[in-house]
Structures are given as C-alpha cells and as structure tokens.
C-alpha cells in the first residue's frame, strides 16, 4: 500500500475534482447586482426567501409574467433560505455584492436602511397602492421619512380554540370584532378542567409576542429613534406579561410547560386535546388545517383587544431595492408590479399570510369565503400598525440579551413586576451606549 500510490491517487482525484469544480463555477462569474447586457437589456437579481412550495411557485409565476411583459428588463430569481439570511445580507452589502431586489422583513431590513444601503422608494410607490395600504403599515417601513421597503406579507397573533372543549365547559364561542383580554382570561379559566388546560401558549421566545400585543394596551416600550431612543416600561407594557403570569400562577389555566416551548410545540398539546385554546401566529391556520387530527373541530377567535383596541405591531415581509444597484429605477418598477393586488392575493394565500393592501385582502376573503380562520385573521389585520421598536438601533441586542431572559425569568415567577421593569430598563441603558 505504498505512500506513493496513495499520493498518486490523491493527486489524480484532486485533478478530476478541480475540473468538475471550475466547470461548476464557470456559470456565474459575477457576484452581486445584475448589470446591463448586450443591446441595452437589463438583468435584475431578485433574492427571494420564500420557503413554502406554493409560495415559491407564486413568486415564480409573478417573475415569469413580468419577464414576458418586459423583455428588456429581465428579473433573475435567486432562491435563498431564511435561516442565516441576515448574516448573508451583511456580507453582501459590505462586500458590495448585494442583489438588486431584496426580500426580507421590516424589523431586520430597517438597520440596513439606517446604514444607507437601501434605495428610497417613496416616489416609486404608485398612488393607488399608497392609499390602499394603511398608514400604520407604511410607518413600519419608513425610515427618516423615506419608504425603504414595500410591505408584502404580514401576520398577527390570534387565538385558536377547540370548539368541542369550549362548548363542553359551558362557555359560548365568542364572535364579533374583538375579544377583550378579560374575556379571554375568563374563557381560559372556564375551560381549565378534567386535567385539561384552557390555554397552551408557546412563549419560549416571548419578546416578539409581548412587544406586538403590548400595543393592545398602549404599551409601546420605546420612544424616539436610533441611538436616541428611550425605553419606558409601564402598565401598558406589562399588561400582557402580567396577564400570562396571572393565568399561569393564579388561575392555573395555562399549561406551564408550553411557556417554555415554541409555538409549534405548543400546537401539539392543542392537537392532543390537552389545551382548549392556543395563541399562535395567524399563519398557523394553514398548518392546523393540514396537521390537526381529523376529529378536531377548531375555530379562530376574534382578535384580542385591550384598553387601546386590537392594535398589534406590523412587521411585514418586504421587498427593497439596493441603493448601489445600477438599475435601481427598474428594480423599483418591478417591486411595484410585484406588490399589485392580484399578485399579493396569490402569494399571501399560498403562504397563509396577510397582504398589506386592502384590495388584496378583499380578494382573499372573496376567494376563500372567509373560511379556515381567514375572516378573523383579516379582522385582526385592521389593528396592524408600526411599532417604535423597529426604529431602535440596539433593539436586537436588547431583545436577545436582556428582554428575552428577563421575560423568561418573569414567566418562571423568579422576578416580579418591579424586577422585570428594572431589568428591562437598566439593561437597555447598558446596551444602548
């Protein structure tokens, strides 16, 4: 087995693989934004993150129809994954290799806009679309009075209920346009019996949920933007965490295990009939429809409302245009086309998400007849509004290193209201230096 033979085999293998390697990489010599090809035709690179097969198809359909109508401006679809996309975008922007059109979500794309990487779309949004999307949603994608992204798909937090368990407890299934936090608490208490819990709430990563639902009680957490942002934790901010704690420790109506689980894990208890209700992202309606046991009769309840109504934080998925793109205007045109009502209805229905524009929402309502929770989901969408945390520079760090651990300690009953308030505010002062 001489070393020489081994070395020879190694060298031969390397040669073959190198050949394969350079062949594979020859297809795409240029990283980054597309350019201008022969005859003045333009290629736009569109990095899309769709993960549901139906949504991938929907985006492909939109791109294909654009390409056949605009032979001079070809859009090249690049499919990337959600996981790790932030890291990828950071390097793409800093290496000057970002695509022309960028799919992401408001909370995560805003920092790139603040750093100057995104083109101003304010004047590129068609007037009709501008008025068809609520000011609250526009607020979530506006940085320094510039629209930096097109809102495309949204979600809300909603309550799903097991109809049989609700009726067996003697409670009536709520209807109407909203359900107050008190009604919700009473309902959970009433359905907690026979070893079953009223509610399974996956709060392993509680911050996003609490930040969003705090708006129902006027809790905004922050005022100001960028580095100048100030934190304020008061009654409105604490309303929902307090509600959860009271339900878990006073009423014992929340399955305590679910508080340390993800939303999908909490769904398992709901499927198994061990919890009468569960709070989930609205998109889970599609998964419940697909995965729930055949006998489970489920219903989506009216949106939760606190002292300030059914407001929730809008954190839409977005399309943005790279400020360094040589064809930024063309890219903005495509973004506007992408966001038209027909396209948005098609895409959001495939993804079980909520389109930003009223017209697209109506299209979905009429094509689904409001079934499978769509009617309640659309009602909850009316409360969507921009939340101040989107514009806070240190938000992500505060969320990961301060807020999430503090909320977890609070939910585990290790700190009280005062302790939570102190941890959240002092922690923010330290990270926002």
Partner 1 sequence: MNRTSPPVKALQYLALAAYILFLGFPLLWLVSASIKSSQELAALDMSLLPKQFHWDNYAVALQKQGLTRSAVNSLVVSLLSMVFVVLLSMPAAYALARFKGRLRAVGVGWILVSQVFPVILIIIPLFIILRDVRLVDTLLGLVLVYTTFTMPFALWMLQGFVAAIPTDLEEAAAIDGASRFQTLRRIVFPLLMPGIVATAMFAFVAAWNEFFFALVLIQSPENYTLPVALKMFVGGEGKVALGPLAAGAVLATIPSLVVFSILQRRLTGGLLAGSVKG
Partner 2 sequence: MTITSTVAPSPTTQDRRPRRGRQDRSSQQRREAIALVFPSLVPIVIFSVLPLLQGVWYAFTDATLRRNDTADFVGIDNFTRLAGDSFFWSSFRIGLIWAVSVTLLQLVASLGLALLLNSDLRFRSLTRLLALIPWAMPPVVVAIMWTMIYTPNGGPLNAALGAVGLPSSINWLGDFNTALPAVIVVGVWIGMPQTTVTLLAGLQQIPAELSEAAAVDGASAWQRFRNVTLPSLRPIVVSITSLNFIWNFNSFGLVYVMTEGGPGGKTMLPMLFTYLEAFKNRNIGYAAAMGVVLVIVVVLILAGFLRTQFRKESA
Q: What does 80 bind: partner 2, partner 1, none (CB cut-off 5 to 8 Å by kind)?
A: partner 1
Q: Give buried/exposed letters for 379-418 (b at 16+ CB in 10 A, else e).
A: bbbbbbbbbbbbbbbbbebbbeebbbebbbebbeeebeee
Contact 300, 166 (CB under 8 A): no
Contact 239, 198 (CB under 8 A): no
Shortest distance in whole angstroms from residue 404 CB to partner 2: 6
Shortest distance in whole angstroms from residue 430 CB to partner 2: 7
Token pair 């339900």 is at which residue?
247
Contact 334, 46 (CB under 8 A): yes
Q: What does 32 bind: partner 1, partner 2, none (CB cut-off 5 to 8 Å by kind)?
A: partner 1
Shortest distance in whole angstroms from residue 88 CB to partner 1: 6
Who's near 105: CB < 8 A, 6+ residues apart?
315, 316, 317, 318
Q: What does 263 bind: partner 2, partner 1, none (CB cut-off 5 to 8 Å by kind)?
A: partner 1
Is 4 one of the binding residues for partner 2 (CB under 8 A)?
no
Shortest distance in whole angstroms from residue 162 CB to partner 2: 17
Q: Which parts of 146-195 fold into alpha helices (H)? A: 163-168, 181-191
Q: What does 25 bind: partner 1, partner 2, none (CB cut-off 5 to 8 Å by kind)?
A: partner 1
Token pair recorded at residue 363: 């299209």
Q: What does 178 bind: partner 2, partner 1, none (CB cut-off 5 to 8 Å by kind)?
A: none
Burial status of residue 72 (CB atoms within 10 A of its CB: 0-12, 13-18, 19 or more) = exposed
Residue 299 CA to residue 376 CA, distance in Å, equals 9
User: Binding marks (x or -) toward partner 2, 222..261, rule CB under 8 A?
Assistant: -----------------------------------x-xxx
End-to-end CA distance of the chain: 63
Shortest distance in whole angstroms from residue 328 CB to partner 1: 19
Q: Which is nearer to partner 1, 50 or 253 (CB)?
A: 50
User: Binding marks (x or -) toward partner 2, 99..128, rule CB under 8 A?
Assistant: ------------x---xxx-----------
The CA radius of gyration of the chain, in Å to the nearest whole number, is 24
Residue 124 Cα distances to 131, 175, 333, 335, angstroms: 13, 41, 7, 9
Is 408 one of the binding residues for partner 2 (CB under 8 A)?
yes
Q: Which is nearer to partner 2, 190 or 268 (CB)?
A: 268
Shortest distance in whole angstroms from residue 104 CB to partner 1: 10
What is the three-class DSSP state of 200?
strand
Contact stretch for partner 2 (CB under 8 A) within 15-23, 59-67, 163-171, 263-271: 263-271
Binding-site size for partner 2 (CB under 8 A) equals 38
> Residue 424: which of 410, 75, 113, 260 has the closest Cα?
410
Shortest distance in whole angstroms from residue 208 CB to partner 1: 9
Is 393 one of the binding residues for partner 2 (CB under 8 A)?
yes
DSSP letter string, 121-159: -GGGS-HHHHHHB-HHHHHHTEETTEE-SEEEEE--EEE
Residue 408 Cα distances to 32, 137, 167, 380, 420, angstroms: 41, 29, 33, 27, 10
- Contacts with partner 1 by CB under 8 A lie at 3-4, 7, 10-11, 13-14, 17-18, 20-22, 24-25, 27-29, 31-32, 49, 51-52, 78-84, 87-88, 90-92, 94-97, 105, 155, 262-264, 267-269, 271-272, 274, 281, 283, 287, 290-293, 317
Helix axes 341-351, 53-69, angle to 10 degrees: 160
Q: Which is nearer to partner 2, 184 or 398 (CB)?
A: 398
Segment holding 288, helix H or strand E: helix 284-291
Shortest distance in whole angstroms from residue 43 CB to partner 1: 13
Q: Binding residues for partner 2, per CB under 8 A?
A: 86-87, 90, 93-94, 111, 115-117, 204-205, 257, 259-261, 265, 268-269, 323-324, 393-394, 396-397, 400-402, 404-406, 408-409, 412, 414, 427, 430-431, 433
């Amino acid at each position: 087995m001489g070393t020489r033979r081994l070395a020879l085999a190694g060298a031969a293998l390397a040669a073959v693989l190198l050949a394969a390697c350079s062949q594979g990489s020859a297809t795409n010599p240029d990283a980054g934004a597309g350019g201008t090809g022969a005859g003045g035709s333009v290629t736009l690179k569109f990095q899309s993150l769709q993960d549901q097969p139906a949504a991938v198809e929907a985006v492909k359909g939109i791109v294909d129809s654009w390409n056949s109508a605009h032979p001079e401006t070809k859009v090249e679809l690049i499919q990337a994954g959600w996981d790790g996309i932030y890291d990828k975008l950071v390097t793409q922007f800093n290496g000057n290799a970002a695509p022309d059109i960028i799919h992401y979500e408001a909370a995560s794309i805003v920092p790139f806009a603040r750093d100057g990487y995104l083109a101003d779309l304010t004047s590129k949004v068609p007037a009709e679309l501008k008025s068809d999307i609520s000011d609250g949603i526009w607020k979530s994608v506006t940085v320094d009075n510039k629209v930096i992204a097109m809102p495309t798909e949204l979600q809300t937090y909603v309550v799903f209920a097991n109809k049989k368990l609700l009726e067996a407890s003697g409670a009536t299934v709520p209807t109407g346009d909203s359900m107050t936090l008190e009604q919700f608490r009473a309902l959970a208490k009433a359905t907690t019996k026979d070893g079953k819990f009223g509610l399974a709430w996956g709060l392993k990563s509680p911050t996003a949920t609490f930040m969003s639902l705090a708006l129902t009680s006027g809790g905004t957490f922050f005022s100001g933007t960028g580095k100048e942002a100030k934190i304020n934790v008061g009654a409105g901010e604490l309303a929902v965490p307090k509600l959860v704690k009271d339900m878990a420790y006073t009423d014992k109506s929340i399955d305590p295990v679910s508080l340390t689980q993800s939303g999908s894990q909490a769904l398992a208890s709901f499927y198994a009939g061990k919890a009468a209700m569960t709070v989930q992202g609205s998109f889970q309606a599609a998964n419940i429809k697909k995965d729930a046991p055949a006998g489970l009769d489920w219903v989506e309840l009216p949106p939760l409302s606190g002292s300030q109504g059914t407001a929730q934080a809008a954190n839409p998925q977005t399309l943005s245009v790279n400020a360094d793109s040589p064809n930024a205007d063309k890219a903005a045109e495509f973004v506007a086309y992408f966001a038209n009502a027909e396209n948005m209805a098609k895409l959001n229905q495939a993804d079980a998400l909520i389109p930003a524009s009223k017209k697209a929402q109506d299209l979905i309502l009429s094509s689904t007849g409001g079934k499978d929770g769509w009617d309640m989901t659309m009602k909850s969408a009316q409360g969507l509004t921009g939340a101040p945390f989107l514009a806070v520079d240190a938000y992500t760090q505060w969320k990961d290193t301060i807020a999430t651990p503090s909320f977890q300690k609070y939910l585990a009953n290790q700190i009280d209201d005062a302790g939570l308030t102190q941890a959240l505010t002092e922690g923010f002062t330290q990270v926002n230096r």
